[in-house]
Amino acid sequence: MSNNIENLFTQYYQILRAYALRYVQNQDAAEDIVQDVFFELWLRRNEIDFDLPMKAYLFKSVLNKSRNYIYDKRVKDKISFDSDNDIQFIDDYLQSFVVYQEDSLLLKDLDREIKTYVESLPEQCHRIFIMSRSLNLKNKDIALRLGISIKTVEKQITKALSGLRNHLKKNGLLSFFFLLFSGFE
């Protein structure tokens, strides 16, 4: 579990800090926000399914903590919320909770649909796809282990990915799937 968190920290810390900095305009606060996100992730490490994509979760958590920081700072500094920008900020802040819940439900739907599709693959295609995507084996290694050609491995992976794309599209989850891997800017 902690290895997963360390890997995520190594992979995303710098970009998440820069993302937070865009909102809070304070280097120390941005670092604190990102560290808080990873600390909370560590606290919930036994509840979290690290097989799910974590990028969207991390960015949304940093965004929410950044908004909390700005809100708390405004209240602490006794800045009034009279301007249109402040009203928009509060509206965005409240909407983020709804969006986060919707994203969480979509992630669960996406995970369920991917698992359903992968389980429905023919035996050899299923085995090759799992070896490629879950075990992160190279096509050459899969071919050697199964005693088949690299070309067969490539065709089976292409077949599985094409079918998965169609399955997600049919279930209205394809655009959400691509959003997870495309970033937020």
Say if pTM beats, i.e. exceeds, 0.85.
Answer: no
Give pLDDT, residue 153.
Answer: 94
Query: How much is the average pLDDT of 101-125?
Result: 76
Q: What is the DSSP letter of 148?
A: -
CATH tag for 1-79 (out of 1.10.3720.10, 2.60.120.10, 1.10.150.120, 1.10.1740.10): 1.10.1740.10
The CA distance from 60 to 184, in Å, is 10
Name the more confident of 27 and 97.
27
The CA distance from 160 to 2, in Å, is 31
Query: How much is the average pLDDT of 172-180?
Result: 54
Tell me yes or no: is domain 110-185 CATH 3.40.640.10.
Answer: no
The CA distance from 92 to 64, in Å, is 10
